Protein backbone atom coordinates (compact mmCIF):
# COMPACT_ATOMS: atom_id res chain seq x y z
CA UNK A 1 0.00 0.00 0.00
CA UNK A 2 2.13 2.90 1.24
CA UNK A 3 1.51 6.51 2.17
CA UNK A 4 2.61 9.60 0.26
CA UNK A 5 2.95 12.99 1.93
CA UNK A 6 2.58 15.61 -0.83
CA UNK A 7 3.72 19.09 0.19
CA UNK A 8 3.33 22.28 -1.80
CA UNK A 9 5.33 25.28 -0.60
CA UNK A 10 4.76 27.93 -3.26
CA UNK A 11 2.47 30.86 -2.34
CA UNK A 12 1.58 31.09 -6.05
CA UNK A 13 -1.60 29.05 -6.41
CA UNK A 14 -2.26 29.33 -10.18
CA UNK A 15 1.10 29.71 -11.90
CA UNK A 16 3.57 27.71 -9.80
CA UNK A 17 5.64 25.24 -11.79
CA UNK A 18 6.28 23.23 -8.63
CA UNK A 19 2.56 22.75 -8.07
CA UNK A 20 2.21 21.26 -11.54
CA UNK A 21 5.19 18.98 -10.90
CA UNK A 22 3.76 17.80 -7.58
CA UNK A 23 0.43 17.10 -9.28
CA UNK A 24 2.24 14.98 -11.89
CA UNK A 25 4.17 13.10 -9.21
CA UNK A 26 0.99 12.37 -7.23
CA UNK A 27 -0.76 11.08 -10.35
CA UNK A 28 2.15 8.77 -11.18
CA UNK A 29 2.33 7.62 -7.56
CA UNK A 30 -1.40 6.80 -7.48
CA UNK A 31 -1.03 4.74 -10.66
CA UNK A 32 1.78 2.75 -9.07
CA UNK A 33 0.37 2.43 -5.54
CA UNK A 34 -3.30 1.99 -6.34
CA UNK A 35 -4.26 1.14 -2.75
CA UNK A 36 -2.02 3.83 -1.23
CA UNK A 37 -2.98 6.89 0.77
CA UNK A 38 -2.06 10.49 -0.08
CA UNK A 39 -1.73 13.15 2.63
CA UNK A 40 -1.72 16.68 1.21
CA UNK A 41 -0.21 19.67 2.98
CA UNK A 42 -0.18 23.14 1.40
CA UNK A 43 2.39 25.38 3.09
CA UNK A 44 1.98 28.07 0.46
CA UNK A 45 -1.71 28.62 1.16
CA UNK A 46 -1.59 27.84 4.90
CA UNK A 47 1.96 28.26 6.21
CA UNK A 48 2.53 27.20 9.81
CA UNK A 49 3.60 29.85 12.30
CA UNK A 50 7.26 30.29 13.01
CA UNK A 51 7.95 28.75 16.43
CA UNK A 52 8.15 31.39 19.17
CA UNK A 53 9.69 31.23 22.64
CA UNK A 54 6.65 29.61 24.26
CA UNK A 55 6.42 26.89 21.63
CA UNK A 56 10.14 26.12 21.68
CA UNK A 57 10.03 25.90 25.47
CA UNK A 58 7.13 23.43 25.24
CA UNK A 59 9.05 21.33 22.70
CA UNK A 60 11.87 20.93 25.22
CA UNK A 61 9.70 19.80 28.13
CA UNK A 62 9.28 16.12 29.08
CA UNK A 63 5.90 14.64 28.18
CA UNK A 64 4.86 14.15 31.80
CA UNK A 65 5.17 17.83 32.72
CA UNK A 66 3.41 19.37 29.73
CA UNK A 67 0.60 21.74 30.62
CA UNK A 68 -2.67 22.09 28.69
CA UNK A 69 -1.29 25.35 27.28
CA UNK A 70 1.87 23.54 26.15
CA UNK A 71 -0.19 20.88 24.41
CA UNK A 72 -2.30 23.52 22.64
CA UNK A 73 0.85 25.30 21.45
CA UNK A 74 2.25 22.02 20.14
CA UNK A 75 -0.94 20.73 18.48
CA UNK A 76 -0.09 21.77 14.92
CA UNK A 77 3.52 20.63 15.26
CA UNK A 78 2.30 17.25 16.53
CA UNK A 79 -0.02 16.97 13.51
CA UNK A 80 2.77 17.83 11.07
CA UNK A 81 5.11 15.33 12.73
CA UNK A 82 2.46 12.58 12.51
CA UNK A 83 2.03 13.24 8.78
CA UNK A 84 5.77 12.96 8.25
CA UNK A 85 6.18 9.86 10.40
CA UNK A 86 3.25 8.13 8.67
CA UNK A 87 4.69 8.71 5.19
CA UNK A 88 6.74 6.21 3.20
CA UNK A 89 7.34 8.73 0.42
CA UNK A 90 7.47 12.52 0.69
CA UNK A 91 7.23 14.77 -2.38
CA UNK A 92 7.89 18.48 -1.94
CA UNK A 93 7.31 21.23 -4.47
CA UNK A 94 9.99 23.76 -3.54
CA UNK A 95 10.54 26.90 -5.61
CA UNK A 96 13.87 28.56 -4.94
CA UNK A 97 13.33 31.82 -3.08
CA UNK A 98 16.45 33.93 -2.57
CA UNK A 99 18.68 30.91 -3.15
CA UNK A 100 16.93 28.70 -0.59
CA UNK A 101 13.37 27.70 0.43
CA UNK A 102 10.17 29.65 1.05
CA UNK A 103 9.54 31.01 4.53
CA UNK A 104 6.48 28.76 4.95
CA UNK A 105 8.58 25.70 4.17
CA UNK A 106 11.25 26.83 6.65
CA UNK A 107 8.56 27.17 9.32
CA UNK A 108 7.45 23.58 8.60
CA UNK A 109 11.06 22.43 8.90
CA UNK A 110 11.31 24.10 12.30
CA UNK A 111 8.00 22.55 13.40
CA UNK A 112 8.87 18.94 12.48
CA UNK A 113 12.48 18.95 13.71
CA UNK A 114 11.59 17.64 17.15
CA UNK A 115 14.00 15.95 19.54
CA UNK A 116 12.57 12.59 20.57
CA UNK A 117 10.14 12.56 17.66
CA UNK A 118 12.08 12.92 14.40
CA UNK A 119 15.62 12.84 15.78
CA UNK A 120 17.30 12.13 19.06
CA UNK A 121 20.61 12.61 20.84
CA UNK A 122 22.71 9.76 22.18
CA UNK A 123 26.25 9.05 23.38
CA UNK A 124 27.49 9.22 19.78
CA UNK A 125 25.64 12.42 18.92
CA UNK A 126 22.39 13.05 17.00
CA UNK A 127 20.49 10.15 15.45
CA UNK A 128 17.71 10.50 12.88
CA UNK A 129 14.51 8.58 13.56
CA UNK A 130 12.97 8.58 10.07
CA UNK A 131 15.20 6.11 8.22
CA UNK A 132 13.76 4.12 5.32
CA UNK A 133 11.71 6.90 3.77
CA UNK A 134 12.25 8.54 0.38
CA UNK A 135 12.07 12.28 -0.24
CA UNK A 136 11.60 13.79 -3.69
CA UNK A 137 12.16 17.54 -4.00
CA UNK A 138 10.78 19.17 -7.15
CA UNK A 139 12.17 22.66 -7.63
CA UNK A 140 11.64 25.63 -9.90
CA UNK A 141 14.48 28.14 -10.27
CA UNK A 142 14.77 31.37 -12.19
CA UNK A 143 18.35 30.68 -13.27
CA UNK A 144 20.70 27.74 -13.57
CA UNK A 145 22.38 26.37 -10.46
CA UNK A 146 23.46 22.86 -11.46
CA UNK A 147 25.97 21.21 -13.78
CA UNK A 148 28.86 23.49 -12.89
CA UNK A 149 26.97 26.73 -13.53
CA UNK A 150 28.55 29.99 -12.38
CA UNK A 151 25.48 30.40 -10.13
CA UNK A 152 26.00 27.01 -8.45
CA UNK A 153 27.72 28.48 -5.35
CA UNK A 154 24.47 30.34 -4.60
CA UNK A 155 22.43 27.12 -4.41
CA UNK A 156 21.73 26.86 -0.69
CA UNK A 157 18.47 25.03 -1.35
CA UNK A 158 19.64 21.54 -2.28
CA UNK A 159 22.51 21.33 0.21
CA UNK A 160 20.27 22.56 3.02
CA UNK A 161 17.44 20.12 2.32
CA UNK A 162 19.77 17.17 1.73
CA UNK A 163 21.53 17.93 5.02
CA UNK A 164 18.31 18.49 6.96
CA UNK A 165 16.59 15.29 5.89
CA UNK A 166 19.84 13.41 6.40
CA UNK A 167 19.83 14.71 9.98
CA UNK A 168 16.37 13.15 10.38
CA UNK A 169 17.75 9.82 9.12
CA UNK A 170 16.53 10.03 5.51
CA UNK A 171 19.47 9.41 3.21
CA UNK A 172 17.45 8.86 0.01
CA UNK A 173 16.70 12.45 -1.06
CA UNK A 174 16.28 13.08 -4.78
CA UNK A 175 16.01 16.38 -6.62
CA UNK A 176 14.40 17.20 -9.93
CA UNK A 177 15.02 20.78 -11.01
CA UNK A 178 13.01 22.87 -13.46
CA UNK A 179 15.60 25.58 -13.97
CA UNK A 180 15.72 28.64 -16.22
CA UNK A 181 12.18 29.70 -15.33
CA UNK A 182 13.16 33.38 -15.37
CA UNK A 183 15.05 33.35 -18.66
CA UNK A 184 12.33 33.36 -21.32
CA UNK A 185 9.08 31.42 -21.97
CA UNK A 186 10.68 28.89 -24.31
CA UNK A 187 13.49 28.06 -21.88
CA UNK A 188 11.01 27.83 -19.02
CA UNK A 189 8.73 25.44 -20.90
CA UNK A 190 11.59 23.28 -22.12
CA UNK A 191 13.00 22.84 -18.64
CA UNK A 192 9.62 22.13 -17.07
CA UNK A 193 9.03 19.47 -19.76
CA UNK A 194 12.46 18.00 -18.98
CA UNK A 195 11.52 17.81 -15.31
CA UNK A 196 8.30 15.96 -16.18
CA UNK A 197 10.28 13.45 -18.23
CA UNK A 198 12.61 12.91 -15.28
CA UNK A 199 9.60 12.30 -13.02
CA UNK A 200 8.21 9.70 -15.39
CA UNK A 201 11.63 8.04 -15.57
CA UNK A 202 11.67 7.73 -11.77
CA UNK A 203 8.56 5.58 -11.89
CA UNK A 204 9.36 3.65 -15.05
CA UNK A 205 12.78 2.84 -13.61
CA UNK A 206 11.27 1.66 -10.31
CA UNK A 207 13.29 4.22 -8.36
CA UNK A 208 10.26 4.97 -6.20
CA UNK A 209 10.57 1.99 -3.90
CA UNK A 210 7.65 -0.25 -3.13
CA UNK A 211 6.85 -0.52 0.55
CA UNK A 212 5.85 -3.58 2.54
* pLDDT tens readout for residues 98-108: 999 999 999 99
CB 119, CB 18: distance < 8 Å = no
* CB contact at 8 A, 92 and 165: no
Q: What is the band of 212 on the pLDDT scale with cuts at 50, 70, 90? A: low
Residue 22 is predicted with a pLDDT of 98
- Domain count for the chain: 1
Per-residue pLDDT, averaged over 11-26, amounts to 97
Domain that holds residue 95: 3-204
In a domain, 212, yes or no: no
The most distant pair of C-alpha atoms in the chain lies apart, rounded to whole Å, by 58
Q: For residue 147, name the pLDDT band (cuts at 50, 70, 90).
A: confident
Quick: pLDDT tens for 49-96.
999 999 999 999 999 999 999 999 999 999 999 999 999 999 999 999
* Residue 209 forms part of a structural domain: no
Half-sphere exposure of 30 (CA within 13 A, CB side): 10
In-domain check, residue 89: yes
What's 96's domain CATH number? 3.40.50.360
Is 196 domain-assigned? Answer: yes
In a domain, 108, yes or no: yes
Q: Mutual orientation of helices 185-204 and 17-32 as an angle, nearest 10°?
A: 20
Q: What gap in Å lies between CA 113 and CA 173, rounded to an integer?
A: 17
Task: For residue 211, tell me if it sits in a domain.
Answer: no
Does residue 181 fall inside a structural domain?
Answer: yes
Q: Is residue 63 part of a domain?
A: yes
Amino acid sequence: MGTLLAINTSPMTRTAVTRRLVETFVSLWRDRFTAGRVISRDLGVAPPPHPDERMLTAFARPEDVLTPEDRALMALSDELVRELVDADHIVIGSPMYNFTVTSGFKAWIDMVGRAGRTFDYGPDGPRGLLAGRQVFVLTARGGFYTNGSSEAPMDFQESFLRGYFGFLGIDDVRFIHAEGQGIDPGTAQDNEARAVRELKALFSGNEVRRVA
